Structure 1
Amino acid sequence: MTAAPGLGGRRARVVDLTAGPLARGIVLFALLLLGAALIQLLYSTVDLMFVGHVLGTGAAAAVGASGLVVTCLVGIFTGLGTGTGVLIAGHFGAGRHNEVERVMHTALTFGLAGGLVLIPVMIALAPALMARLGTPPEIVPSAVVYLRIYLLGLVSVVLFNMGSGVLRALGDSLTPMRCQLVGGVVNVLVDALFIVVLRWGIGGAAVATLLSQTLAAGLVLLALRRLDERYRLRLSRFHLHPVTLREILAIGLPAGAQALVITLSNVAVQYRINALGIWDIAAFTVWFRVENFMYMPIMALGQAASTCVAQNLGAEDRPRTRRAVRACCLIGAVVTVVLAGALLVGVRPVLGLFTADPEVIARGTTIARIVAPCYVLFALMEVVSSSIRGAGRALPPMIIVVSALCGLRVVLLMALPRVFGTVGRVALLYPLSWVVTDTALLVYLLARRRLLWGDAPAAR
C-alpha cells in the first residue's frame, strides 16, 4: 500500500490492487468501501428510525414511497460514476496521470451541470410522480414534501458519489469513508434536533439528510484538491472534454441505464406494493432498509472487482485479473451466507428497530424469510457484471440485467397481477429474477472468456 492525501490533509492508506497479496488487497479495499456504504445508510436509516417511531407508520410509508424517485435519479449519475471509475482505474494502472486528471474534471463538470438542470424539473414533477406511482392519497402530501426537500441536495449527492468514485478508482477507499462518517454523525444529531426537539415532522428528516449530504460532498471535493499534483482537482480545470466525455458515456450510459431500469422495475414492484395497503408499504420500506446491510457488502465487492479488473488490465496483468474475479465470487458467497444466517436468526428484533407496529414486523419477517436465503445469487450477479464492466464492456451486462432481471419482474407483474397479490408472492420476484440473470451472465462470460482470461487487449 502507498500513501495519498486524505481528509484534513492527513495521508490516507491506498490499496494497490495491481501488486501484493490479491485476496488481502480485495478484502481491505472492499471493507473500506463497505464502511463508507454502511455510514451512508445512516442518512436513510436514521431518518426512518426517527420517522417510524416519532411520526408513525404513515410517515414511514411516505418516506418509502418517495425514495424510489430519488433512486432513479441517483442511479443515472452512479452509472456515469462507474464509467468514470473504470477509465480512471485503467489510466492509473497504466501510469497515464494526465488522462486521470482529464477524466476527473470532465466527469465532475458533467455531473454538476446535470444535477442543476434536473433539480427544478423534478421538484415541479414531484406531485405527479407520487400520484402515478399509485401512492395512497393520505400519504401523498408527506411524500411530496420529503421528495422536494431531498431533491434540493441532488447536486451534493451527485458530486459526492462521483468524487468518491474517483478516489476509489485511485485505490483510496478510506477518505470517502471518513467523509461519510462526518456526514453520518451530523445527520443523527440534526435528525434528533429537527424531528424530536423542533417537531418539524417529515420535512425535518429531509432537511437533516440534505445538510449532512452537502457536508460530505464538500469534504470529498476538498480531498480531491489534495491529491497528487499531477491529477488533483482544480476549479480552473472544470470543463467538458468531448473525447473524454464520449469515453465516459460509452461505459457510464449503459451502467446508468441499467441502474435506471432496475429502479424502474422496482417502481413497478412498488406500484404493486402500494396497491396492497399501508402496512405492506411500511413492511417493504422497513425491509429495504434492513436489506441494505446485506446489499452493501455485495455492492462493495462489486466495486472492488470492477476497480481491480480495470487496474490490472491497465497494467496488462491478465492472470491476476482472472484470480481477482474468482476471489471476489468466493468472498461474496461466504459473506452473504453468514449475513443471511445472522439476519434470519434475529429478524424480528432487527425489524423492531424501525417500527413498533407488530403487523409491519410480521409482514417484514415474511419478506426476509423468502429473500435473505437467496442473496448469494445476487452476490454472484454483482461480481460478474461488475467485472465485465471493469474490462470496459458495459453494454453486455446492461442488456442481460435489463432483460433477465428487470424485464422478468415487470412482465410477471403485468401478466399475473392476481398471482402477486400478497407480500410473500411479491417478494418471490427477487430470487426468481436473480436465478435467470445469473444464468445469462455466466453463459455470456463462458462464451467470451477471452475478455478476461485470454490474451486479447481489453476494450476501452
Structure 2
Amino acid sequence: MVKNMTEGNPLKLILEFSFPLLLGNLFQQTYNVVDSAIVGRTLGADALGAVGSTASVQFLVLGFCIGICSGFAIPVAQRFGAGDLRGMRRDIFHSDVLTAVCALILTVVCSIFCGNILHLLQVPDNIFEDSYRYLLVIFLGIPFTLLYNLLSSMLRAVGDSRAPFLFLAFSAFLNILLDFFCILVLKMGCAGAAAATVISQAVSGVLCLLFIRKKVPTLQLEAEDRQFRADRAVRLFAMGAPMGLQYSITAIGSMVMQASVNALGSIYVSGFTAGMKIKQFALGPFDAVATGVSTFSGQNYGAGEEARVRKGIRIGVTICVIYAVLMGILMIIGGRVGSLLFVSADEGAVLDAAAQYLRCIGFMLWLLAFLNVCRMSTQALGFSGRAIFSGVVEMFARVGVCLLAAPHFGWNAICWADQAAWISASCYIVPTCIWCIGTMRRRRGKPADLHQEVD
C-alpha cells in the first residue's frame, strides 16, 4: 500500500512503516540462524566455521548490492514526496538498467575470483573446500539478491513496507524447508545451505515483481518512461554507488577482522560465527527503524518539511536506544546459552569465545541507535558522500584494532573491534546529520535541486 509520510503523526507513521521491516528482518535473521543451526548441528563445528568464514566477504559484495538499491530509491522517495510521479518513474527505469549491469559484472567477477578471495581471508585449510563451495553458490545468486532488494526498495520508497515483508517471510519459511531438503536429503553439505538461500531470494524477488505489476500502478512504467538518458543514469549512479560503497567500505574492515579471527584457528572461527549470527539477529531492529526514518526523511525532504525531518530522527534514535539497552542486557547475560543454537554443549571452548564476544557487544550496543539512524537519514537528505565517509571512519577504526591490537591481545582485541568502529563513526555522523538538516533552510522551496528533471 502506497503511503504519503509528509502528513500525519511522525511516531505513528515511523512505527507503522518500521514494524513490517522489523518483522522482515527477524524472519531473514531467523532463517539465517536456522541455516547456521542446521549446518552446525548436522555437519559439525568445522562446517559452521566454513560458512562463517565467508560472512565478511558476503557483507562486502551483498552489502554493495543492498546499498546501491537503497541509493536508487532515495530520489524515488523524494520525487514521490514532491508529487513528481513522471520523474519518479523515469528514475525507476534507469535504476532497473543500472542494476542489471551491476548484476552481470558482480556475478562474473566474484565467481571467477572466489578462491582468491578465500585465500586472502586466510581461511584455514581444513574448512577451505566447504567455504569455497558455499561462497561460489552465493555469488552465482547475486542477480536474485539485486532483484529483490531493488524492487523492495522501490516499494518502501513510496511507503509500502508491508508487501516486501510478506514476500520475505514466505521466502524465509521456504529457505528453512530447502535447508533440510538440500542438506539432509540431497546431502549437498554447505553448498546446499547456500542453494537454499539463493532459491528463496529468487522467489521473494519474483513475488515483488508480480505484486508491482498487478497492484501498484504508481510504480508501473509506461513507454515514455523507458527512454535511456546517460546523464540521468550517471546522476542516479552517483546516488546509488556511494551507498553501496558505504556497505563495502565497512565490510573491508569486517574482512580484516575475519582474517584476524581466521588466523586464531577454527575454534575462534566457530565461536565468532556463532556470536555473529546472534549479533546480526540483534541488529535487525536498528536497521528497520533507521530505514523507516530514512523513508520518512526522504519524503519530507521532498516536501520541504524540515521540522518533520528533525522530529522523525529524534523519534528514531529514542526508539533504538530503548531497544539497545534491553537487548544489550540479554546479550550480556544470555550469550552463552544463545550460542547453543549453533554449537553443541561439548564444544566448551567455542561457547566461551562466543559468550565473551557477545558480552562485549552488549555493553556498547546503544551506539548503533545514533550511528544507524543518523547515517541513513543523512543519505535520505541527499548527502551520500558524507554518509559514506562515516563508513570510511568505521573501517579504519576496525582495521586499526585488528592489525595493531589483535597480534598482541588476540581474541580480547577482536571482541572490542566493532565497538571502536561504532564510537569513531558516531562521533563523525551525528554532528554531520545535524548540519545536513540545517541546510534544508537554505534549500526551502527548491527541495529537488539535487535531482533536477532531465527532459
TM-score, L = length of structure 1: 0.92
Going from structure 1 to structure 2, the CA distance change for 1:447 and 1:169 (only over 3 Å counts) comes to closer
Range 90-99 or range 37-46, more displaced:
37-46
Range 235-244 or range 88-97, more displaced:
235-244
Q: Which letter maps to 1:367?
A: Y
Structure 1 contact 85–307 (Cα < 8 Å) conserved? no
1:359 is matched with 349
Structure 2 contact 77–158 (Cα < 8 Å) conserved? yes
Match 1:261 to one of 249, 270, 278? 249
1:376 is matched with 366
Query: How do 1:50-129 and structure 2 match up within 5 A?
Result: 50-129=38-117
Structure 1 contact 66–130 (Cα < 8 Å) conserved? yes
CA drift at 1:408: 1.7
Structure 2: distance between partners of 1:161 and 1:433: 26
CA drift at 1:371: 0.9
CA drift at 1:397: 1.8
Q: Which letter maps to 1:368?
A: L
The CA deviation string for residues 329-382 of structure 1, in whole angstroms up to 9 with x for no partner, is 111111111222233333222111111123211111101111112111012111
Structure 2: distance between partners of 1:244 and 1:276: 48
1:274 is aligned to 2:274: no
Q: Which letter maps to 1:111?
A: T
Going from structure 1 to structure 2, the CA distance change for 1:274 and 1:233 (only over 3 Å counts) comes to farther
Going from structure 1 to structure 2, the CA distance change for 1:185 and 1:237 (only over 3 Å counts) comes to farther
The CA deviation string for residues 269-289 of structure 1, in whole angstroms up to 9 with x for no partner, is 011000011011111111111
SS at match of 1:419: helix
Going from structure 1 to structure 2, the CA distance change for 1:195 and 1:234 (only over 3 Å counts) comes to farther
2:380 is matched with 390
Match 2:15 to one of 27, 50, 55? 27
Structure 1 contact 318–454 (Cα < 8 Å) conserved? no
1:290 is aligned to 2:278: yes
The CA deviation string for residues 186-216 of structure 1, in whole angstroms up to 9 with x for no partner, is 1111111121233221121111112111111
Going from structure 1 to structure 2, the CA distance change for 1:234 and 1:192 (only over 3 Å counts) comes to farther
CA drift at 1:237: 6.2
1:440 is matched with 428
Going from structure 1 to structure 2, the CA distance change for 1:100 and 1:283 (only over 3 Å counts) comes to same
TM-score, L = length of structure 2: 0.93
1:249 is aligned to 2:237: yes
CA drift at 1:259: 0.8
SS at match of 2:296: helix
Going from structure 1 to structure 2, the CA distance change for 1:400 and 1:230 (only over 3 Å counts) comes to closer
1:308 is matched with 296
Identity of aligned residues (%): 25
The CA deviation string for residues 75-121 of structure 1, in whole angstroms up to 9 with x for no partner, is 22222112212111101111111122111221122112221232232
Going from structure 1 to structure 2, the CA distance change for 1:365 and 1:326 (only over 3 Å counts) comes to same
Q: Which letter maps to 1:139?
A: I
Structure 1: distance between partners of 2:26 and 2:287: 11
SS at match of 2:5: coil
Equivalenced residues, count: 446
Match 1:348 to one of 315, 336, 340? 336
Please list every run of 5 or more consecutive structure 2 residues that lacks an aligned counterpart in the other structure: 451-455
Q: Which letter maps to 1:95?
A: G
Structure 2 contact 76–88 (Cα < 8 Å) conserved? yes
1:45 is matched with 33
Structure 2 contact 401–414 (Cα < 8 Å) conserved? no
Structure 1 contact 257–398 (Cα < 8 Å) conserved? yes
Going from structure 1 to structure 2, the CA distance change for 1:138 and 1:263 (only over 3 Å counts) comes to same
Structure 2 contact 70–153 (Cα < 8 Å) conserved? yes
Structure 2: distance between partners of 1:334 and 1:17: 24
Going from structure 1 to structure 2, the CA distance change for 1:342 and 1:28 (only over 3 Å counts) comes to farther
Structure 2 contact 21–288 (Cα < 8 Å) conserved? yes
Structure 2: distance between partners of 1:93 and 1:41: 31
Structure 1: distance between partners of 2:430 and 2:100: 37
Q: Which letter maps to 1:378?
A: L
1:406 is matched with 395
Going from structure 1 to structure 2, the CA distance change for 1:292 and 1:286 (only over 3 Å counts) comes to same
Going from structure 1 to structure 2, the CA distance change for 1:376 and 1:15 (only over 3 Å counts) comes to farther
Structure 1: distance between partners of 2:338 and 2:268: 17
Q: Which letter maps to 1:299?
A: D
Structure 2 contact 333–359 (Cα < 8 Å) conserved? no
Query: Cα RMSD over matched residues?
Result: 2.0
1:148 is matched with 136
Structure 2: distance between partners of 1:38 and 1:266: 22
Q: Which letter maps to 2:401?
A: L
Going from structure 1 to structure 2, the CA distance change for 1:452 and 1:354 (only over 3 Å counts) comes to farther
Structure 2: distance between partners of 1:319 and 1:354: 46
Match 1:229 to one of 217, 224, 235? 217
Going from structure 1 to structure 2, the CA distance change for 1:388 and 1:49 (only over 3 Å counts) comes to same
Range 244-253 or range 287-296, more displaced:
244-253
Structure 1 contact 15–29 (Cα < 8 Å) conserved? no
1:7 is matched with none
The CA deviation string for residues 394-430 of structure 1, in whole angstroms up to 9 with x for no partner, is 111211331x2111221333334423412x3212111
